[in-house]
């Protein structure tokens, strides 16, 4: 499916997908606009009593330094989203270029790339992320690098197999016969036709990216305090799970909702791109 037809999908979204999209938009907007929203004032220590339960004044309660959990959770949305979206976008661009090149050039390049992606798949994502962060040192950059390498092999595979199906089409053969250069064929004829499937895959990968980011931060290797991603919040407060459960459960629930809505929309978009119509058994 051509990328130019992607916007037309929006018109075909059902009410459920629109609702989830709205929820996601609200969460992300809140995260991105967080520094200018009212709760931001209560991010500083001693903004309220220490470890007070959720109530009218502090919707998600306060943590052990008297900071508003709501404010820190909204900040966490921004960091979790920005870190994973950056990594996944980079991996999408690099992965598609490598995948298209592998499928189109063939020769030695294709099996070589296949072998390298197999090695990358052989690393469980978390262990791989651990090593990358261990090498680069804990922090935002290494979290981005870790997610990049976790997502990259999938993006290579997806764009490679999508390219394979496009290569055989008549318009590509026609372009080749009329003397178009390989780079022109990749840019003009192949890229727009694999873009839709790549973008939908990216949505899925975004949810994986957010899981990896928050897991690394939970293990203490991602975003470092005093700024916090959602995973950092869970790590910091895991000791208070019994005494002050809202410190852990509130950011955890927000993280789960965030990932769920990305997954839901990704699945929905894929269903629209590639509909399956099973027959009911009599």
The residues binding other proteins (CB under 8 A) are: 115, 118-119, 121-127, 130-131, 134-135, 137, 207, 211, 214-215, 218-219, 231, 234, 238, 241-242, 245, 248-249, 252-253, 255-256, 259-260, 262-264, 267, 276-282
Q: Work out the burial of residue 154: count CB atoms within 10 Å of its CB; fewer than 13 is exposed, 13-18 middle, 19 or more buried.
A: buried
Joined together, the tokens standing for residue 281 give: 């058994």
Rounded to a whole number, what is the largest CA-CA distance in the chain?
Answer: 74
Q: Report the distance separating Cα 225 and Cα 45, nearest Å.
A: 13
- Backbone φ and ψ for 225, nearest 5 degrees, come out as -60, 155
CA–CA distance, 122 with 96 (Å, rounded to integer): 20
Query: Using alpha carbons only, what angle is made at residue 262 by residues 232 and 11, rounded to the nearest 5 degrees?
Result: 155
| CA 23 to chain CA mean position, Å | 16
Rg (CA), the chain: 22
Q: How far is the CB of 19 from other proteins (least distance, A)?
A: 13
Give whichever of 98 and 216 is closer to other proteins, judged by the CB atom.
Answer: 216
CA distance 262 to 268: 10
Residue 62 to residue 259: CA distance in whole angstroms = 24
User: Is the preceding omega at residue 97 within 30 degrees of 0, hence cis?
Assistant: no
Of residues 67 and 157, the one with the C-beta less far from other proteins: 157
Give the Cα separation of 225 and 240 in Å (integer): 17
DSSP 173-223: HHHHHTT--HHHIIIIIIHHHHHHHHHHHHHHHHHHHHHHHHHHHHTTSSS
- 45/111 with CB nearer other proteins: 111
In whole angstroms, what is the distance from residue 270 CA to residue 274 CA? Answer: 6
């Amino acid at each position: 499916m051509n990328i130019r037809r992607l916007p037309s999908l929006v018109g075909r979204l059902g009410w459920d997908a629109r609702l989830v999209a709205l929820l996601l938009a609200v969460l992300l907007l809140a995260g991105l606009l967080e520094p200018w929203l009212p709760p931001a004032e209560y991010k500083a220590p001693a903004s309220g009593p220490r470890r007070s339960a959720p109530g009218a004044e502090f919707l998600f309660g306060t943590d052990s330094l008297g900071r508003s959990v709501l404010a820190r959770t909204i900040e966490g949305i921004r960091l979790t989203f920005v870190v994973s979206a950056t990594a996944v976008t980079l991996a999408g661009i690099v992965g598609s270029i490598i995948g298209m090149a592998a499928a189109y050039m063939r020769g030695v390049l294709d099996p070589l790339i296949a072998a390298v992606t197999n090695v990358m798949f052989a690393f469980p994502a978390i262990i791989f992320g651990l090593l990358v962060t261990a090498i680069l040192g804990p922090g935002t950059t290494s979290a981005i690098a870790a997610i990049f390498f976790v997502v990259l092999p999938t993006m290579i595979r997806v764009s490679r197999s999508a390219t394979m199906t496009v290569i055989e089409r008549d318009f590509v053969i026609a372009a080749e016969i009329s003397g178009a250069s390989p780079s022109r064929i990749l840019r003009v004829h192949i890229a727009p036709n694999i873009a839709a499937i790549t973008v939908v895959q990216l949505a899925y990968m975004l949810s994986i990216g957010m899981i990896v980011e928050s897991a690394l931060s939970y293990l203490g290797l991602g975003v470092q305090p005093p700024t916090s991603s959602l995973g950092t919040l869970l790590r910091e407060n895991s000791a208070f799970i019994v005494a002050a459960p809202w410190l852990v459960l509130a950011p955890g629930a927000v993280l789960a909702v965030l990932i769920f809505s990305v997954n839901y929309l990704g699945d929905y978009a894929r269903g629209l791109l590639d509909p399956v119509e099973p027959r009911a058994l009599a």
